[in-house]
């Protein structure tokens, strides 16, 4: 009997095509909204595997009720919506989609940096609200980033791309803080490892490219913002909960830092009345880092392939928890 795969959202067509060609039965989602949690669990009970994403809570409750799942295939590189430890215990491998979105996400980080440094969103809003007065020699000026110091928090694949862009375009000096040293970056980008404290005090721009975990949750808080330069720009395209949002608002209001560009907020979605949206030195986007046609297609291809390979060969090409596979062997019947 062919295995049944539940799609929790509308994904690029290629995911469906690949799975159907490989003999799977795919249940598509008709509307582009997340399932509520109960519905997600009920539907998942009728399926062997799911193709899910950040908006699906794969928590303890889900995993207890759906411990029969063969594989959970996540359409994203980040997987903080999934209780990985529990899934591993249950022998459920989790696939994800790294690499595919490195460049698209770095583009958004770089774009936000430029947009923030020149107050672009604010200027755009001024026009919409009929406030394009005359050319003003000293009003609403931005700041330049050329030759300044870029501090990367979490220098992995996406951080590397961001550093490359900033170096090529603005000859920025790259420093970074990571759990482990990135020798490759040190060699190819002349990046310098610094302790967290130094990253805060030396950077003109801090760009976040880390995972969300208990070590990074709200690490950018009051304490951290106070140590940053008053002319610093804070960029977060990683995960909203890496910063404490009221501390960020406060840091901007009191001039502890100069500006912020966010593609992720804490929480998401951002409330439209959030003070950040009124600030001239802040640019906010609704979590679109990987949002290009090319990248989303590639992520869909990878997410489908993780399922196909698992049933075919017992391996998941891009797996979060390889230990889980040891605990379970399933074949496509």
Query: Is 275 known to be catalytic?
Result: no
283, with CB counted inside 10 A (0-12, 13-18, 19+), is buried
For residues 78 and 91, which CB has a smaller minimum distance to ligand GLV in the complex? Answer: 78
Give every strand in the sheet of 49-52, ordered side by side: 25-27, 4-7, 49-52, 71-74, 94-95
Query: According to the binding rule CB under 6 A, does residue 289 interact with ligand GLV?
Result: yes
Which residue is catalytic, options 42, 99, 268, 323?
A: 268
Shortest reach from residue 74's CB to ligand GLV, in Å: 8
Cβ neighbours, 10 Å, residue 74? 25
Token reading at 173: 């000096």
Binders of ligand GLV in range 46-105 (CB under 6 A): 54, 76-78, 101
The three-class DSSP label of residue 82 is: strand
With binding defined as CB under 6 A, does residue 142 bind ligand GLV?
A: no
Exactly one of 239, 296, 298, 309 is catalytic; which is it?
A: 239
- Cβ atoms within 10 A of the Cβ of 231, count? 13
Decide if 103 is catalytic. Answer: no
Q: Could you tell me the smallest distance in angstroms from the CB atom of residue 274 to ligand GLV?
A: 20
**Do residues 253 and 228 make contact, with C-beta atoms less than 8 angstroms apart?**
no
**Cβ at position 329, least distance to ligand GLV in Å:** 29
Please name the residue that has the structure tokens 């009728």. 46
* Site of tokens 């489908």: 304
Closer Cβ to ligand GLV, 100 or 251, answer by number: 100
Sign of the torsion formed by the C-alpha atoms of 23, 28, 34 and 37: negative
The size of the interface with ligand GLV (CB under 6 A), counted in residues, is 7
Of 76 and 251, which has the nearer Cβ to ligand GLV? 76
Pick between residue 76 and residue 92 the one whose CB is nearest to ligand GLV.
Answer: 76
Q: Among this protein's residues, is 239 annotated catalytic?
A: yes
List residues binding ligand GLV (CB under 6 A): 54, 76-78, 101, 289-290
Catalytic residues: 239, 268, 287
């Amino acid at each position: 009997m062919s295995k049944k795969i539940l799609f929790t959202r509308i994904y690029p067509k290629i995911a469906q095509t690949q799975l159907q060609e490989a003999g799977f039965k795919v249940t598509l989602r008709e509307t582009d909204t997340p399932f509520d949690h109960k519905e997600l669990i009920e539907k998942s009970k009728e399926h062997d595997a799911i193709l899910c994403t950040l908006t699906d809570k794969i928590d303890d409750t889900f995993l207890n009720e759906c411990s029969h799942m063969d594989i959970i295939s996540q359409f994203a590189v980040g997987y903080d919506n999934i209780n990985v430890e529990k899934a591993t215990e249950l022998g459920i491998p989790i696939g994800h989609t790294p690499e595919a979105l490195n460049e698209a996400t770095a583009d958004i980080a770089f774009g936000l940096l430029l947009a923030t440094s020149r107050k672009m969103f604010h200027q755009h809003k001024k026009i919409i609200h009929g406030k394009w007065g005359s050319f003003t020699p000293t009003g609403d000026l931005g700041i330049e980033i050329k030759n300044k110091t870029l501090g990367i928090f979490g220098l992995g694949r996406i951080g590397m791309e961001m550093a490359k862009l900033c170096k090529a375009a603005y000859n920025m000096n790259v420093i970074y803080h990571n759990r482990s040293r990135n020798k490759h970056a040190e060699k190819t980008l002349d990046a310098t490892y610094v302790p967290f404290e130094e990253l805060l005090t030396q950077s003109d721009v801090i760009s976040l490219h880390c995972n969300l975990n208990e070590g990074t949750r709200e690490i950018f808080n009051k304490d951290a913002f106070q140590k940053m330069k008053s002319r610093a720009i804070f960029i977060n395209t990683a995960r909203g909960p890496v910063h404490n949002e009221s501390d960020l608002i406060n840091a901007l209001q009191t001039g502890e830092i100069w500006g912020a560009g966010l593609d992720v907020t804490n929480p998401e979605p951002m409330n439209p009345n959030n003070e950040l949206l009124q600030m001239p030195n802040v640019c906010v986007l609704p979590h679109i880092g990987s949002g290009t046609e090319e990248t989303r297609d590639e992520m869909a291809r990878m997410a489908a392939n993780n399922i196909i390979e698992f049933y075919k060969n017992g391996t998941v090409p891009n797996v979060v928890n390889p230990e889980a596979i040891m605990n379970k062997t399933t074949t496509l019947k």
